[in-house]
Amino acid sequence: MRFVDLTGSREAAGRSIRLVDMARRLPLLVRRSLALAWRVDRPATAGLLACQTVAGITQAMGLLAISGTLTALLASGDVLDRLLHAWPSVALLAGAAAARAVMGITVNWLSSRLGPLMTREAEQMLLDGCTAVELAAYDEPDFNRDREAADRGAQVTGDLIDEGQDLIASSASFLAGAVVLAGVHPVLLPLLVAASLPQAVSQVSAARVRYLANLRSNGDNRMLAVLRWHIYTRDAADQIRAGTMASFLSGRYRRTVARINREDRAAADQGARFSLLGAVCGGLGSAIVWAAVVWLLATGRISVGRAGAAVFALQTAGQSVRGLVAVGSRAVRTGLYMDDWTNFLERTGGFRMRRGTHRPGPPKTIEIASLSHRYAGKERDALTDVSLTLNRGEVTALVGFNGSGKSTLSKIVSGLYLPTRGHVLWDGTATHDAEPHALWKQVALVPQDYARWPLTVRENITLGQPSPRGDTAAYEACEAAGADEVVARLAAGLDTLLAREWLGGEELSGGQWQRVALARAFFREAGLLVLDEPTANLDPKAEYRIFQRLRDLARERVVLLVTHRITNLAVADRIVVLDEGRIVQDGTYPELAHRPGLFQELLSYQVTSETAPSDHDHSGTVPPPRA
Ligand SMILES: Nc1ncnc2c1ncn2[C@@H]1O[C@H](COP(=O)(O)OP(=O)(O)OP(=O)(O)O)[C@@H](O)[C@H]1O
């Protein structure tokens, strides 16, 4: 099992990294990192830029001062004269060195302040992007893969500020070296650049190989994250033990790690080969440059003093070219990760909720008109040509076998999914024309897998949206859901933290959690109440209490109940039977119970299982096989 990039578009982008791309992309990257830095901390960014400019200038001045000092000292004539000529340059050199040191410290301080802020901001933007997409996005493999890559992009965003600073510093010292070299003799600078080219190419190639290797391991890294989550969190800890799954899971983890290691090793080997080749060519290039200096000196084209300055400038410029290329290739690689992040933020546009502006109130009727729905990548419809009207004051129950489409229909009615065909009309307005958040204000949903938020009981009930009536409303909801008994037993009442992992946190039983989830729905002043298997974990007394309460709640609401328990259906005004995504029956309990069809079949299974004789009694009725 592996997650794969089906489109291969990022692989193609990675393969296209060349030296020219790097040169083209670097200014863009610096601009991009500065823009993000500006967004998170303007004074620090402005300070950083100012310091960097001053540092660049002082670096150039320092180099020029060294060149001046060497020229003066190595010139012919009286030693005292030479020293007198050299001292202004020495003073400039000392001043520039001091200024550079101060600037360097300031730049480090500001970058280390900005880097983490940028990473946090990038993460925040990613989170905001994720909450603004259609729920359907999560069914798209591309979306999930890109989100993962974007997360990595967000993590490295902060690195770009350091890399940007290194780039600016290397460029400044290269410029200073270039000015000195060009002053000594015009042939030296082009020679130096040509000699540095092989190393530049090899560094960029190595960076490309590393990025591609990482890209290929992207799916495996996702798998590791999923496995890690299951292995070390509490959720499945009991099942891992009881199911003796530990060695199976760690075996899978090990195999996945081995695949990543193979990719990494291959990339490291290939990168080393590139670097070796680059170093050999670079060494030859340097020998040619040094030979040129000797030749210029030997043929009297430059003086000893100028040759000394050239030696120093060559050292500096050579180092900065190598630095430029090294940090440049790192920045380009970081930039590619950042591209994943920006592309994802833009790509959420593909899934970003673009619905209407109508703000619905509590619905009187919800009409489902010729609705069909197919999940992304599926070959069959989950729902086909479903038409149904739900009314305020009525409890409508959806029943059917597993996979018949009940939960899908309840999510479409709640506006969580938009149907692929047909409409869901809330008092005449289609869900895709409604402002989604305004619509969801009118939805109270208890899904099959309700969230167990690691928050206080109060926050678990109010979902961070307290009522103007304060805790009274929360206590009323608890009473309606039977959660009052749960809260009464907790040491800190509504303030109790429902997360055992944290100090002072409490753990609830499955049924107690379900009561809290129900209280959550009852607390919400919403016009549509959707309950998907709401009492699966409840004891009979708690279940009875919920269904008693449901009738009162339904007076003011549209209620949609998904259940497998036929006994719960007594509360429903109307029962809709789904089979393989289609409505096959619709009516009241007595009507359906006396009509041959799927409902009778479901009823017979339930009645049989509820009245089934013990294992020792073989006279029991065997449920009728499904036609
Ligand atoms: N997010 C999804 N992506 C793809 N297919 C899905 C998704 N959710 C459900 N399905 C498919 O849609 C069909 C209907 O599923 P649904 O959950 O609506 O059934 P259900 O009647 O609620 O089942 P159950 O009684 O088991 O809860 C199933 O075939 C299921 O595999």
pLDDT tens digit sequence for 232-271: 887 788 888 888 888 999 999 999 999 999 999 999 999 8
Nearest CA to ligand 1 atom 26: 402
How remote is the CA of residue 172 from the centroid of ligand 1, in Å? Answer: 61
Smallest CA-to-CA distance from 237 within 561, 447, 500 is with 500
Q: Are residues 590 and 487 in the same domain?
A: no
Whether 497 maps to a domain, the answer reads yes
Q: Which residues of 470-506 are buried (b: 16+ CB within 10 A; e: fewer)?
A: eeebbbbbbbbbbbeebbeebeeebebbbbeeeeeeb
Provide the pLDDT confidence category of residue 542 given band limits of 50, 70 and 90: confident
Q: What CATH number does the domain containing 386 carry?
A: 3.40.50.300
d(CA 376, CA 360): 28
| Among candidate residues 276, 282, 272, 323, the one with its CA nearest the CA of residue 199 | 282
Residues 613 and 595 in one domain: yes
pLDDT higher for 575 or 548? 575
What b/e sequence results for 361-380 when a residue is b if at least 16 CB atoms lie within 10 Å of its CB, and e otherwise?
Answer: ebbeebbbeebbbbeeeeee
From the CA of 81, how far away is ligand 1's center (Å)?
Answer: 92
**489 Cβ inside 6 Å of ligand 1:** no
Contacts of 186-193 spanning 24+ positions with Cβ under 8 A: 187/292, 187/296, 188/289, 188/292, 188/293, 188/296, 188/310, 188/314, 189/317, 191/288, 191/289, 191/292, 192/289, 192/314, 192/317, 192/318, 192/321, 193/321
Give the three-class secondary structure for 434. Answer: strand
**Who wins on pLDDT, 184 or 369?**
369
Is ligand 1 within 6 A of the CB of residue 382?
A: yes
Same domain membership, residue 464 and residue 377? no
Q: How many domains, in total, are found in the chain?
A: 2
Q: Which atom of ligand 1 is nearest to the CA of 405?
A: 18
Q: How far is CA 133 from CA 344, 438, 521, 589, in A?
A: 11, 16, 23, 40
Shortest-distance Cα residue to atom 25 of ligand 1:
402
For residue 403 and ligand 1, the question of a CB distance below 6 A is answered with yes
Expressed in angstroms and rounded, the spacing between residue 409 Cα and the centre of ligand 1 is 10
Q: Residue 622: CA atoms inside 13 Å, Cβ hemisphere, count?
A: 3
User: Would you say residue 210 lies in a domain?
Assistant: no
Q: Whose CA is nearest to atom 28 of ligand 1?
A: 403
Task: Judge whether 295 lies within some domain.
Answer: no
pLDDT of amino acid 579: 94
- Asked if residue 412 has its Cβ within 6 Å of ligand 1, the reply is no
Give CA torsion, residues 262, 264, 269, 270, to 10 deg.
110
Phi, psi angles (nearest 5°) of residue 430: -70, 145
- On whether both 624 and 498 belong to a single domain, the answer is no
Question: Tell me, what's the pLDDT at 622?
Answer: 34
Please give the number of the atom of ligand 1 that sits closest to the Cα of 581: 14
407 CB within 6 A, ligand 1: yes
Ligand 1 neighbourhood includes 379 CB (under 6 angstroms): no
For ligand 1, pick from 375, 379, 449, 578 the residue to mutate: most ligand atoms within 8 Å of CB: 375
Q: What is d(CA 131, CA 290) in angstroms, rounded to the nearest whole number?
A: 60
Check: CB of residue 558 under 8 Å from CB of residue 394: yes
Strand 383-391 with 528-532, pairing: unpaired
* Best residue for ligand 1 mutational test, from 139, 406, 605 (most atoms within 8 Å of Cβ): 406
Would the pLDDT of 621 be above 50?
A: no
Three-class SS state of 8: coil
Over range 37-60, report the average pLDDT.
Answer: 85
Lookup: tokens for 581: 């995504």
**Alpha carbons 307 and 293: distance in angstroms, whole number:** 7
- The confidence band for 473, taking pLDDT boundaries of 50, 70 and 90, is very high
Mean local confidence (pLDDT), 90-94: 77
Q: Which of these ranges, 101-115, 262-276, 605-619, has the smallest mean pLDDT?
A: 605-619
- Rounded CA gap, 606 and 269, in Å? 65
User: Does the beta carbon of 563 sit less than 6 angstroms from any atom of ligand 1?
Assistant: no
Count of residues for the chain? 627
Q: How confident is the model at residue 164 (pLDDT cuts 50, 70, 90)?
A: confident
User: Which has the closest alpha carbon to 11: 266, 201, 214?
Assistant: 214
In what side-by-side order are the strands of the sheet with 365-373?
Answer: 383-391, 365-373, 421-426, 429-430
Task: Classify 288 as helix, strand or coil.
Answer: helix
The phi, psi pair for 224, rounded to 5°, reads -60, -40
Atom of ligand 1 nearest to the CA of 564: 25
Structure confidence at residue 349 (pLDDT):
63
Question: Dihedral through CA 134, CA 140, CA 143, CA 144, nearest 10?
Answer: 110
- Interval between CA 276 and ligand 1 midpoint (Å): 56
Q: Is 139 in the pocket of ligand 1 (CB under 6 A)?
A: yes
Q: Is the CB of 400 under 6 A from ligand 1?
A: yes
Average pLDDT of the chain to the nearest whole number: 84
> What is residue 395's three-state secondary structure?
strand
**What pairing do the DSSP bridges indicate for beta strands 365-373 and 421-426?**
antiparallel
- Ligand 1 pocket, mutate which of 407, 450, 530 (most atoms under 8 A from CB): 407
Nearest ligand 1 atom to the CA of 411 is 18
The yes-or-no verdict on residue 161 having pLDDT over 50 is yes
Long-range contacts for 606-609 (Cβ within 8 Å, ≥24 apart)? 606/565, 606/566, 606/567, 607/566
What is the SS3 string spanning 486-536? Answer: HHHHCCCHHHCECCCCCCCECCCCHHHHHHHHHHHHHHCCCCEEEEECCCC
Atom of ligand 1 minimally distant from the CA of 380: 29
CA distance 521 to 524: 5
- Is residue 350, in this structure, part of any structural domain at all? no
Same domain, 479 and 610: no
- Give the mean model confidence (pLDDT) for residues 268-293: 88
- Determine, yes or no, domain membership for 194: no
pTM: 0.76
Same domain, 431 and 560: yes
Q: Where is 545: in which H helix or E strand?
A: helix 540-554
Strand partners, 577: 399, 585
Task: List the structure tokens of 291.
Answer: 């030979």
Question: What's the whole-number mean pLDDT along residues 602-616?
Answer: 59
CA of 582 to the centre of ligand 1 (A): 13
Q: State which residues form the domain around 574.
A: 360-442+527-539+554-627
Is residue 544 in contact with ligand 1, taking CB distance under 6 Å? no
Residue 150 within any structural domain of the chain:
no
Are 491 and 511 in a shared domain? yes
Instruction: Calculate ∠ Cα 67-68-72, nearest 5°.
Output: 115
Burial class (CB in 10 A: 0-12, 13-18, 19+), 616: exposed
Residue 393 maps to a domain: yes
- Tell me, yes or no, whether 416 and 534 share the same domain: yes
Of all protein residues, the one whose alpha carbon is nearest to atom 12 of ligand 1 is 382
Based on the fold, state whether residues 481 and 602 are members of the same structural domain: no
Contact 112, 105 (CB under 8 A): no
| Residue 404 beta carbon below 6 angstroms from any ligand 1 atom | yes
Helical pair 19-40 and 42-74, crossing angle rounded to 10 deg: 130
Name which residue sits closest to atom 5 of ligand 1, judged by CA: 375
User: Between residues 23 and 499, which one has the greater pLDDT?
Assistant: 499
| pLDDT confidence of residue 608 | 53
Regarding whether 533 and 434 lie in a shared domain, the answer is yes
Q: Choose which residue among 408, 411, 563, 579 to substitute to test ligand 1 binding: the one with the highest number of ligand atoms within 8 A of its C-beta.
A: 408
Averaged pLDDT for residues 435-453: 92
Which residue's CA is the nearest one to ligand 1's atom 11? 382
Rounded distance from Cα 87 to ligand 1 centre (Å): 84
Query: Are residues 434 and 564 part of one domain?
Result: yes
Q: How far is the CA of 348 from the centre of ligand 1 (A)?
A: 24
* Cα–Cα distance list, 190 to 194, 283, 284, 320 (Å): 6, 16, 15, 15
State which ligand 1 atom lies nearest to the alpha carbon of 398.
21
Atom of ligand 1 nearest to the CA of 410: 18
Ligand 1 contact, 406 CB (< 6 A): yes
CA 494 to chain centre: 32
Ligand 1 pocket check for 144: Cβ under 6 Å: no
**What is the C-alpha separation between 366 and 387, in angstroms, rounded?**
11
**67 in contact with ligand 1, CB cutoff 6 A:** no
Q: Is residue 89 part of a domain?
A: no
State phi, psi for 4 to the nearest 5 degrees. -125, 150
582 lines ligand 1 (CB under 6 A): no
Distance in Å, CA 563 to ligand 1 centroid? 14
Lowest mean pLDDT among 132-136, 319-323, 394-398: 319-323
pLDDT tier, 119 (very low <50, low <70, confident <90, very high otherwise): very high
Ligand 1 centroid from CA 601, angstroms:
21
Do 422 and 533 lie in one domain? The reply is yes
ipTM: 0.98
Q: What SS3 state is found at 470? A: coil
The DSSP code sequence of 333-372 is HHHHHHHHHHHHHHHHHHHB-----B---S-SEEEEEEEE
447: Cβ below 6 Å to ligand 1?
no
